[in-house]
Amino acid sequence: MMKATLPLCLLVAMLHLTVHSLTQTDHHNDKPEATDPQELHPHEGDPLESCRHIVSSNADFAFQFYRQATTQEAGKNIFFSPVSISAAFALLALGSRATSQAQVLEGLAFNLTDTREEEIHNGFRHLLLLLNRPSSQVQLSMGNALFMDKHLKPRKTFLKDIKKLYKGKVVSSNFQNSTEAKKEINDHIKNKTHGNINQILEDLDSNTLMVMVNYIYFKAYWVNPFNIKGTHKDYFHVNVKTSVEVKMMTRDGFYKAYSDRKLSCEVVQIPYKGDVAALFILPNEGKMKQLEAALTKDTVAKWEKSLERRRIELRIPKLSILGNYDLKKMFMNLGVTDVFSDRADLSGITGKPEVKVSKAAHKALLKIHENGTEAAAVTSTDFLPHSVPPVIKFSRPFLLLIVDQYTQSILFMGKIVNPTEK
């Protein structure tokens, strides 16, 4: 029996850190380290409660990042994992100090007057625990790895915190041999993403001393698969001038849906097994800009409250899209500039100030299939009355949110402009 892999999304956010000045002598750094505030354990609260405001700020960041992506890539598919980018940069903040740190956390949409740094890291620790919860029905794993030149000596408190708070591991690598270091990093990610991203790093600058990689791997199955027999050729209208041929999946059944009159769009929630759901949002002809302008966590919360179970005939194109982003450019637009410049203070990592981030990149991959063989698909047919249901057909650009229902985290977010774009 063939197992179709359904949507498989994964992504990698990477930060390359390079040394930008080795002129300072470093013997003045030999004094014993002070205890970090993260060492002091507040009493353990409810993990869900602890990550509530993290999730809220992460959602704000997701929509800010989305706006950056649309301005940089107008008319292109967009696909990224906001939760993964947030975790990677929060980990960077853990190793940053002073203005560098404040900029990173504010860039991630945290309000530092009402949230302490310690609460943020503790919140991420709980969020990662909850997202990596063992479940037979959905594969979701997320983690961080820091590859450091073997001559760099990371601080012990940092090593302990990266492991405890961010499920991170530090790998000592030989960056003098950049080919070897590049292979080691690519192999690590290939392994963590089950072979789906073979090459996260295309080139490695010869003076790189540190590379930070965040990965998220997500593979889930629809609660109600589409019957392969129902998939047919159809057209997707990219814009007024362009149409492309796609394989359109079809299913007649009960879905939670909502027609937003004010924003002129249809919202359909399609559940995966294992407490994760996809929200497909289809704006009416010519209403995409208006929809994007109104995209906030309040809008999404309103949709989720308004969803009602009704019978529809759903048509969605099969697709496989890749998002690839230069995070350095995008974060600089969000006001995070110091960590990428000679003003960077990342002394929380090595105890020395002369390190900066030279590159930060992000890759995300999404595949949407019927997921199931004909035989398996038949078992979950809804009992339907003999009437003709309304058709909701995703045959023009639409938005997509994949949400972890348990923590309410936005795992992935995207805009499908052209399902056939390579």
Nearest in space to 410 (alpha carbons), one of 301, 262, 322, 252: 301
- pLDDT tens digits for 383-400? 666 778 999 999 999 999
Asked if pLDDT for residue 292 goes beyond 50, the answer is yes
CATH of the domain spanning 228-317+373-416 = 2.30.39.10
Asked if pLDDT for residue 251 goes beyond 60, the answer is yes
DSSP-H helix ranges across 108-211? 117-131, 156-166, 178-192
- pLDDT tens digits for 316-357? 999 888 888 888 889 999 999 999 888 999 999 988 877 788
Q: What are phi and psi of 170, to 5 degrees?
A: -105, 130
- pLDDT tier at 44 (50, 70, 90 boundaries)? low
Least confident of 11-20, 41-50, 74-83, 304-313: 11-20
Rounded to two decimals, the pTM is 0.84
Asked if pLDDT for residue 257 goes beyond 70, the answer is yes
- pLDDT tens digits for 174-225? 888 888 888 988 888 888 877 777 777 777 877 787 787 777 778 888 999 9
Domains of the chain: which residue ranges?
8-21+45-220+321-367, 228-317+373-416
Which is more confident, 184 or 260? Answer: 260
Q: What are phi and psi of 195, to 5 degrees?
A: 80, 5
Distances (CA, A) of 405 to 22, 49, 128, 169, 279: 48, 15, 14, 28, 11
User: What pLDDT, on the 0 to 100 scale, is given for residue 94?
Assistant: 93
- pLDDT tens digits for 106-140? 999 999 998 999 999 999 999 988 888 877 677 77
396-415 average pLDDT score: 94
User: What pLDDT, on the 0 to 100 scale, is given for residue 63?
Assistant: 97
CATH 3.30.497.10 fits domain 8-21+45-220+321-367: yes
Helices 82-94 & 52-72 angle (0-180, nearest 10): 110
**CA–CA distance, 268 with 258 (Å, rounded to integer):** 7
